[in-house]
Structure 1
Amino acid sequence: MDVQPTWWSKYDDPILQLLADTGAAVPPRVILFNLERREIASPHRSTIKRRLQRLQKYGLVEKVGEEGYYEISELGKAYVSGELDASELDADE
């Protein structure tokens, strides 16, 4: 987790860690609530949605169903556990 890709945000680590901790598929609103409740971060809800879309693009989270729920992917779990360096995710857009 040393060198982050250029597209990485300060909110991406907390989002991935929260999803890894819960192991559940949750909507952006629940992610925001828990980040604020745990005093980890306080982004705007639209920021959470944008970050989830970006994390999904790079395979770190997966969208579940049509209702907008997200869960951490196997790749995301590898990142959180330190088995994957985020710099390996930096790809041409």
Structure 2
Amino acid sequence: MDDSTTDPDPDPEAEAEADAQTDGEPEAETDAEWMEPADRPILELLHSEEDIFEPNQIDEEGLCPANYAAYRCREMTKYGLLEKIMPGFYEVSDLGERYLADDLDPSDLESDN
């Protein structure tokens, strides 16, 4: 057999990069198609801290950036898990409390838009 026709040994760094792309961390599961992995932690934080109402505070707690937290709060408000107290301020609704208690399947909720 002629060694000149065989492929050279693959580059170990290239293999590691390919493995990282195919075997990367699995996407975090959510309880509904419209939900994101950050939603439950945001709800839990808003529920546990009486003085946390706004996305900037969610950012300060290290859950996610404020602009993303604001977006997720608006989305959860559309589905009834949060209530908007005033612009930029939210609290967990009765539906949100039921979800956190595992008494509600958020995939059954419909957007108000």
TM range (shorter): 0.7 to 0.9
The residue aligned with 1:52 is 73
Gaps of 5+ in 2: 1-28
Give secondary structure in 2 for the equivalent of 1:79.
Answer: helix
TM-superposed deviation, 1:23:
3.6
Q: Which of these two proteins has the greater Rg computed from alpha carbons? A: 2
Q: Is the 8 A contact 1:59 1:76 kept in 2?
A: yes
Helix, strand or coil for the counterpart of 2:84?
strand
1:86 and 2:103 equivalent? Answer: no
Structure 1 residue 3: deviation in Å? 6.3
TM-score normalised according to structure 1 size: 0.77
Q: What TM-score do you get using the length of structure 2 for normalisation?
A: 0.65
Deviant stretches of 4+, over 6 Å: none
Q: What letter matches 1:65 in structure 2?
A: M
Count matched residues: 85
Amino acid paired to 1:62: E
Distance across 2 between alignment mates of 1:29 and 1:82? 27
2:68 aligned with 1:73: no
Separation in 1 of the partners of 2:93 and 2:100?
10
Residue 9 (1) aligns with residue 29 (2): no
Among all aligned residue pairs of Structure 1 and Structure 2, give the percentage whose two residues are the same amino acid.
32
**Highest RCO, 1 vs 2 (Cα 8 Å, sep ≥ 6):** 1
RMSD in angstroms over aligned alpha carbons? 2.2
Question: How far apart are residue 25 of structure 1 and its match?
Answer: 5.5
